[in-house]
Structure formats: C-alpha cells, structure tokens
Amino acid sequence: MKVRGILFSEAMVGALLVGVKTQTRRLAGSPMLKAEPGDLFYVREAWRTLEGLDPVKPSAISAAVPICYEQARNRTPVAEREPVRWGKLRPSIFLPRRASRLTLKVTERRFEALQMISAEDAEAEGLLRSKSRGWAHHGAWVKDQQGRVFCELGQTAKTAEGAFSKLWDSLHGRKAGEAWVDNPQIGALTFEVIEGQVDALLAEGRV
C-alpha cells in the first residue's frame, strides 16, 4: 500500500464530502495513475491558518495550529463564522499531509480514451442532474439539516457527458492534445471516500 497526495478544487472537495464524487480522471502519464487498488490518497485542498502566521512556510507550521479549509469557510454564513482572524489563502498543493481531512482508497484503475466516459461514470465525477437545467459540471455541494444532498448549480449541459467535457476543458482545454476534442488517453480511478486524516486512519486500522 502506498500513500500519495492528490489535489482537488473547492467544488470537487464539496462533492467528495457529500459522497457524490467517486471517480477522477487524469491524463496518461500523471503520477496519480501509479496508484493501484488498495492504495491511498490524502486530499489536498485550499486552506488558511492564523493571520499572524502568514509569513511562515507550511512545513514550519506546528501541527497544533488550527487550519481553516476554504471549502468549509465559504459554506459558512458570515454571521456564523468563528471570531478568528484567518490569514491569506494558501493553494491546495501546500496543504500539509497531517492537515488533510479526507482520504481516498482506490478500488479500481483503468486506462481508456477520454471520450469513452459513460453517463454513469460522468455522474460519478461529481456532476448533478437537474430536471429544469440539465447537468451541472460544477457547483457548491452541500447537505441541508435533514442530510439531503443538493448543489447550487454552476454551468450546465444537456447530458452528463457534455457537462463532464466542460469540466475537463476548464482544467485541460488550453494545452494542445489535452482538450476533450483531442480525446487523449487517460487513467480513470474509482475510490472510496473516507473522512479522516490518513495517518490517523492507518493507525486505527480503518483503511
């Protein structure tokens, strides 16, 4: 079993948290595709820490210092936020492993052409179907007080595959050979989402 870090956008972190994202696709050659069933990823997401620590490098921040995840902060009404002076926004790539709150356990890996994605797999990428607006390729995923999952819709398309193509191009569409229309070879990872810090989960025997 190997453990690696993996980056996700704020919207996709929300999809992971509510259980609607169980797949991710990466370009062939990505280090992420070295993962095999049983391997683990710890999710890296945008974050902040105390304002007074803005000059401090992430590696030098004590494990005792509180972390504020940007996804959680943006889902909390201003009036309900803790009276803490959070510092600058830090990119997901700099989130320390010990501060990650989500762990992914790989259950399947396969390689295929990008456009081979099915409607079912596109939905597993964290998309949302709306009767009135089609499929959303991004948005803010949340749970209400009754535990029901819903999404504040972002850009939409008529099909799940169409919505995923927009999502893909928002990330890869600027580079030759990587856009949806180019149909590049990719690796598709299916995973189980487990809430918790990866090393703590390993120590407890939960993964």
What does the pLDDT look like over 15-57, one tens digit per residue? Answer: 899 888 999 999 999 999 999 999 999 999 999 999 999 999 9
Tell me the CA distances in angstroms from 48 to 69, 74, 109, one per residue in order.
Answer: 6, 12, 33
Average pLDDT for residues 177-189, to the nearest whole number?
Answer: 97
Residue 58: how many other CB atoms lie within 10 Å: 15
Evaluate whether residue 110 is within a structural domain: yes
Evaluate whether residue 62 is within a structural domain: no
> Which CATH number do you get for residue 153?
3.10.400.10
For 83, the token pair is 């009276």
pLDDT tops 90 at residue 129: no
3-state secondary structure 17-63: HCCCECEEEEECCCHHHHCCCCCEEEEECCEECEHHHCCCCHHHCCC
**Structural domain boundaries, residue 12:** 3-45+100-203
Evaluate whether residue 105 is within a structural domain: yes
Q: What's the predicted TM-score (pTM) here?
A: 0.89
Residues paired with residue 4 on neighbouring β-strands, in sequence order: 41
Binned at pLDDT 50, 70 and 90, residue 149 comes out as low
Evaluate whether residue 84 is within a structural domain: no
**Cα–Cα distance measured from residue 51 to residue 83, given in angstroms and rounded to the nearest whole number:** 12
**Cα–Cα distance measured from residue 12 to residue 139, given in angstroms and rounded to the nearest whole number:** 8
pLDDT tops 70 at residue 132: no
Evaluate whether residue 34 is within a structural domain: yes
Evaluate whether residue 36 is within a structural domain: yes
Q: Which residues contact 149 (CB under 8 A, 6 or more apart)?
A: 18, 19, 20, 141, 142, 143
Evaluate whether residue 61 is within a structural domain: no
Evaluate whether residue 143 is within a structural domain: yes
Binned at pLDDT 50, 70 and 90, residue 128 comes out as confident
Total count of domains within the chain: 1
Binned at pLDDT 50, 70 and 90, residue 189 comes out as very high
- Report pLDDT for 167: 86
Question: 51 phi and psi, to 5 degrees?
Answer: -55, -40
